Amino acid sequence: MAFERPIEEIEAQIAELETLSLSTRLDISSEIEALKNRLRETIHRTYADLSAWERVNVARHPKRPVAADYIGEILDDFHELHGDRFFGDDRAIVTGFATMEDWRFLLVAHRKGRTTKERMECNFGCAHPEGYRKALRKMKLAEKLGLPIVCMINTPGAYPGIGAEERGQAMAIAENILAMMTLKVPVIALVIGEGGSGGALGIGVGDRVLMLEHAYYSVISPEGCAAILWKDGERSPEAAEALKLTSKDLIELGVVDEVIREPLGGAHRAPSVAMNEVRRVLLRHLRELSQVPTDELVQRRRKKYRRIAAVPGRFPQIL
């Protein structure tokens, strides 16, 4: 990322000095320590004042933890469940029974993959209708079993191809949103990277909506917005600012309930630290939501989403 170049330059200098120290046995520890202090200051200064577009780029960082990393790092056990029993198994969405400490729950997550081959198999996290139908079938199963649901969102949007539209993409997403409003078990939605358009909302309705500090959550991607409004992809940074898609914007607007802090320089710099913080926060919310009676849980969820777009004083019956 362009704004990280000063950071990369200092890191390169540190690596060069460390190599020199090992090969020549020179004591240059003080110089190395001074550079490390300078590195920390540069990272802090850089990330303290990121633009909305820069945050979008952090959310897309190739080394940022994805669903597979969270499954391997923070879950004590995971058994994947496949297919929508109608068309096929969409690899862009992974579902399965998971365990963390004493908590058993259903995990639903967008899957992006790591390598080029994996990303192509997962369609870069852009799910088809069968992915959303798979997610809904498994959520209904969790409801029947009395298990909470945790959804991890990381997609630029649902797949917009002709085949997806022919198989009912818009309807599948709409049915998920409607059904998730009435699920009689706790639902936690967490944006771990990209949260784009209806593709995110298809598994994004929850009693608690959480978001990592450098993730983004928006009605459309900045590129899509720029293409529609100005027919100019070069104006994506301008679109990102206008969309109010950062965690800071969304917590102020009441769209998100909590922002999870990332390690200095973003989750891609210390993945294990970031993922274990996510684990700690998820466990806290699972404990809190388990204390809420079912009827009250559903009622609160519905009120929560009706409040988001309401103008104070205009709709007192829903506030």
Band the pLDDT of 309: cuts 50, 70, 90: low
Query: In the 8-state DSSP scheme, what is residue 262?
Result: P
Q: How many residues in total does the chain contain?
A: 319
Closest CA to 52 of 243, 192, 231, 226: 243
How many Cα atoms sit within 13 Å of 267 on the Cβ side? 30
> Quick check: pTM over 0.85?
yes
204-223 burial code (b ≥16 CB/10 A, e <16): bbbbbbbbbbbbbbbbbbbb
Q: What is the mean pLDDT of residues 294-308?
A: 91
Judge: domain 55-310, CATH 3.30.1300.10: no
pLDDT computed for residue 317 by the predictor: 44
Q: Is the pLDDT of residue 314 over 60?
A: no
Residue 26 structure tokens: 């020179």
Share of the chain above pLDDT 90, in %: 68
Chain mean pLDDT for the chain = 90
Tens digit of each residue's pLDDT (9 = 90 or more) over 196-250 = 889 999 999 999 999 999 999 999 989 999 999 999 989 999 999 999 999 999 9
Tens digit of each residue's pLDDT (9 = 90 or more) over 250-260 = 998 889 999 99
Band the pLDDT of 40: cuts 50, 70, 90: confident
Q: Is the pLDDT of residue 318 over 50?
A: no
